[in-house]
Structure 1
């Protein structure tokens, strides 16, 4: 089976997970991990799109038997950008990961499988990522092993909801609000790419939240 995986940014935290998955499955599948559709050289069986910022046209998708997207929401709710971040910020401790067909309309494809990810409410950014990325790899493996004998389910368009794209300004804390009221925002801020910050007297201060071993 020929598998192609596209993740647009090699600095994205999921990329190393994808590299490990490729190494672990290299004896079973012929796997190519790419950062752009321009590097696709031949047809294959499954195309996986994870954190892919490109629009993958039908002409590319037709090169594969299945073109699949992993989206971290309970579709059709939570279409759009960074759904699991919005969910945590809004206080949810249960995330849903959907495996669906890639289509021209973003996040509109039939759904093959869903996976529930439970949080305790104290996980920080990297810990949330670990649980999410682990679930993504599990769904990728499921697809490779089962998709030819599975049936996808169409989405119900009447219950759809959408998230806008987050910006660095979404990591700004309100200095007049309590820490506890903004704790979920602190938890999900990427300390490297989108750190939490405050502004006082026209000066920006980045804030990093770390767990302490002290009880």
Structure 2
């Protein structure tokens, strides 16, 4: 079985986990390859679309086009579902494996699992849990391939917007404790926490000491 793994952002945090998925697929006897460009995708059996930032359009090339999304679809479609749910105060984050279609986040659902956090994790630890869960749910699909039947999404759909740098803004009139979930989800380099005071903007970095 030919498996292709596509990550269309060569700087994505998920690349180490995509590489681990690649190695695990190979060790289990699959013909697997990791790609970084949509145009490199060829005909095959399974295409895994991991944290892709652009819509993949050539869905006819592979028998299955798998997407991992961290919400209980059809709830929580859209962008950055893990961060938005942490901001909602959740520490149990659903993860859904589903079939890509022309319409974003609407395909048949194959598997659903749960990422369990404890509430202290910062972004690197959150991404580690997310990456581990991504590998797990795809391997579960491959292990039981042929016996898993997709289910049509039913129920109400909700959508998360794309997070922007302004969403990392802290309120200087609120406590650190009340804004800790926001601090957990910021990236110190790409979209750091910041605040404004007396017309000036200040960046705050956060890291765990122990």
Instruction: Give the TM-score normalised by structure 2.
Output: 0.95
CA distance in 1, matches of 2:152, 2:202: 46
Match of 2:92 in 1: 94
Instruction: Compute the displacement of 1:134 (Å).
Output: 0.1
Instruction: Compute the displacement of 1:30 (Å).
Output: 1.5
Report matched runs for 1:63-212 at 5 Å.
63-156=61-154, 158-212=155-209
Instruction: Compute the displacement of 1:112 (Å).
Output: 0.2
Match of 2:19 in 1: 19
CA distance in 1, matches of 2:113, 2:195: 35
> Which digits, 9 at most, give the CA deviation of each residue in 1:22-61, with x for residues without a partner?
1233242111211221112x3111011111112122xx21
CA distance in 1, matches of 2:38, 2:127: 25
8 Å CA contact 1:36–1:54 kept in 2: the answer is: no
> Which digits, 9 at most, give the CA deviation of each residue in 1:143-193, with x for residues without a partner?
22223211111111x411111111011011111111111110000111221
Q: Where does the alignment leave 5 or more consecutive residues of structure 2 unmatched?
A: none
CA RMSD across the alignment: 1.2
CA distance in 2, matches of 1:145, 1:108: 24
Instruction: Give the TM-score normalised by structure 1.
Output: 0.93
The runs of at least 4 aligned residues of structure 1 exceeding 3 Å deviation read none
Any idea what SS the aligned residue of 2:74 has? coil
Q: Where does the alignment leave 5 or more consecutive residues of structure 1 unmatched?
A: none
CA distance in 2, matches of 1:107, 1:83: 12
Count of aligned pairs: 209
Any idea what SS the aligned residue of 1:9 has? coil
